[in-house]
Amino acid sequence: MHYFTLLLGPEATEEPDAETQAAIMAAYTEFHASAGAAIKAGDALAGSAATVRITGGPDHPVVTDGPFAEGAEVAGGYYVFEADDLDDALGIARRIPACQEGAVEVWPMVGWESPTERIGSDWFALLLEPADQPCTPGTEEWESGECRHAEFGRNAGEHILGGAPLHPPSTATTVRVRDGQLLLTDGPYAEGAEVASGFYLLRATDRDEAVKIASMIPATTVHLHRLVGVSDL
């Protein structure tokens, strides 16, 4: 089964020095070596100042540039794992360096459209829906949503590199490690008005085209992030 993990943590107020950057890179290199083939995709996300928030849906999109002050924690990266079960996925997630100071959300995915091309400095679109309106696979609401996303797929075409819907927030687990102790919490990290429902990996020639494509996604809110493109996955 495939699991989506969203890395959350405090955003740096200034650029880390060379020694700190080297330590961070070494920690993630070690994690990648330990997780091995379980990692199917992943990358770092550009800072929140480069994030775009899109609301209103495809019919009346409203685009707002970041940063957004309402959250103390920001998304800094993502992974897709292949694991036997949730316990296996959590065992992998606990080794992610982001767990030490921030948190990692682990979500079971409903399928996985794996990219057929190498991901570089492309775009990551995180789909958000109201927390009090979970959508469960197999329901009429879910089937209706699938039709809307199929239409988006036809319209966006080759701009879509991959993506997946996520199971409802009740299936998510937040992972933290503090002083060497594993802390697991049911549900997403923050008790916000919106929770993740899926994601897309998008390719666009520039920011304006990326925003145009993301504005077509049938979601209550879309957070559009630039991928840093540092991953060799």
Q: What pLDDT score was predicted for residue 187?
A: 87
Reading the block at residue 73, the tokens are 């924690």
Query: From CA 82, how far away is CA 4, in angstroms rounded?
Result: 9
Sequence-separated (6 or more) residues with CB below 8 Å from residue 184: 90, 173, 174, 175, 176
Q: What is the 3-state secondary structure (H, E, C) of the chain?
A: CEEEEEEEECCCCCCCCHHHHHHHHHHHHHHHHHHHHHEEEEEEECCHHHCEEEECCCCCCEEEECCCCCCCCEEEEEEEEECCCHHHHHHHHCCCHHHHCCEEEEEEECCCECCCCCCCCCEEEEEEEECCCCCCCCCHHHHHHHHHHHHHHHHHHHHEEEEEEECCHHHCEEEEEECCEEEEEECCCCCCCEEEEEEEEECCCCHHHHHHHHCCCCCCEEEEEEECCCCCC
Q: What pLDDT score was predicted for residue 12?
A: 67
Q: What pLDDT score was predicted for residue 110?
A: 93
Sequence-separated (6 or more) residues with CB below 8 Å from residue 209: none
Q: Taking the CA of residue 17 as centre, how many other CA atoms within 13 Å lie in the half-sphere pointing to its CB?
A: 1
Task: Tell me the β-bridge partners of 106.
Answer: 5, 173
Are β-strands 181-186 and 173-178 bridged in parallel, bridged antiparallel, or unpaired?
antiparallel
- Which parts of the chain sit beneath pLDDT 70? 12-13, 68-72, 190-192, 230-233
Q: Can you say how many angstroms the Cα of residue 215 is from the centroid of all Cα atoms in its chain?
A: 17
At 100-112, the pLDDT tens digits run: 989 999 999 998 8
Q: How many residues does the chain have?
A: 233
Query: From CA 96, how far away is CA 102, in angstroms rounded?
Result: 10
Please check whether residue 44 is in contact with residue 124, taking contact to mean a CB–CB distance below 8 angstroms: no
Q: What pLDDT score was predicted for residue 192?
A: 65
66 to each of 2, 27, 48, 157, how far by Cα in Å?
Answer: 30, 28, 6, 27
Q: What pLDDT score was predicted for residue 21?
A: 86
Q: What predicted TM-score, i.e. pTM, was given to this entire model?
A: 0.90
Q: What pLDDT score was predicted for residue 113?
A: 80
Q: What pLDDT score was predicted for residue 28?
A: 93
